[in-house]
Structure 1
């Protein structure tokens, strides 16, 4: 039972996932603070803050109420997502894929790519099928 658990942990997927979650959450905090201290003020240069504290274009609704579309929050979320995804991909996914490729080469595992038929082969197959249908 202990050996099975050790094999499960050492497989790599669990460790990769744990590291990605921890680093991703820590990096998310950094990105959020950068966005709130740099991006939000830039958006605030173009839009006035509403009474609720949201930054974005303000319109008046049908009944005269003020409606603000919080573009600052949307831009912050988009930038945070792409920054975290970029770091996780280039810091974790790319090196891990290279490591796995090296390990596979060391083990002598060579993936044989399926040979795709050429255009000429496909045309010959179609011709043969059409001839069979005629007879």
Structure 2
């Protein structure tokens, strides 16, 4: 069983998947920083606050004025944390866009490689049987005249 597991791990697909997960985690950290450190402050300025991800509405309960989202949650109040949700949506859209661009680039490279292989195979194959027969026919016609 250990031998089978070792063969499974040694396959390229598993290693590629592991690399993808590690890079994805690192990329997520970059996107989170982009949203938290660059995008949210700009949105916060437009909405009158400094930390957009901390914006919320109190649905039920008492919260001291100006309290942070965490303080509001800790006080037992029911809050509508729209800022945190919008931050998550922005994160998702940025990651989805980056993945889309990556898949598009990979597809373009694979398509070009496939076309090149087809062209090489076609060139290496030489003339088709039909082309050879056409040449023979034309040669025979030329000899008759």
Using structure 1 for the length normalisation, give the TM-score.
0.51
**Which segment is superposed worse, 21-30 or 99-108?**
21-30
Structure 1 residue ranges (4+ consecutive) displaced by more than 6 angstroms after TM superposition:
none
| Residue of structure 1 equivalent to 2:28 | 28
Residues 1:85 and 1:14: Cα distance change in structure 2 (over 3 Å): farther
Q: Which runs of no fewer than 5 residues in structure 1 stay unpaired?
A: 110-135
Q: Is 1:77 the equivalent of 2:88?
A: yes
| Shift of residue 55, structure 1, vs aligned partner | 2.8
Higher helix share: 2
| Residue of structure 2 equivalent to 1:122 | none
Q: Give the Cα separation in 1 of the matches to 2:99 and 2:16.
A: 11
Residues 1:38 and 1:98: Cα distance change in structure 2 (over 3 Å): closer
Kept in 2, the 8 Å contact 1:28–1:84? The answer is yes
Which one has the largest radius of gyration? Answer: 2
Q: Give the Cα separation in 2 of the matches to 1:73 and 1:100.
A: 39
Alignment RMSD (CA, Å): 3.7
Kept in 2, the 8 Å contact 1:24–1:88? The answer is no
Q: Is 1:87 the equivalent of 2:87?
A: no
| Residue of structure 1 equivalent to 2:37 | 37
Kept in 2, the 8 Å contact 1:43–1:72? The answer is no
Q: How many residues align?
A: 96
Q: Which runs of no fewer than 5 residues in structure 2 stay unpaired?
A: 1-6, 62-75, 120-145
Residues 1:89 and 1:18: Cα distance change in structure 2 (over 3 Å): farther
Q: Give the Cα separation in 1 of the matches to 2:54 and 2:24.
A: 27
| Shift of residue 87, structure 1, vs aligned partner | 1.2
Residues 1:99 and 1:15: Cα distance change in structure 2 (over 3 Å): farther
Using structure 2 for the length normalisation, give the TM-score.
0.48
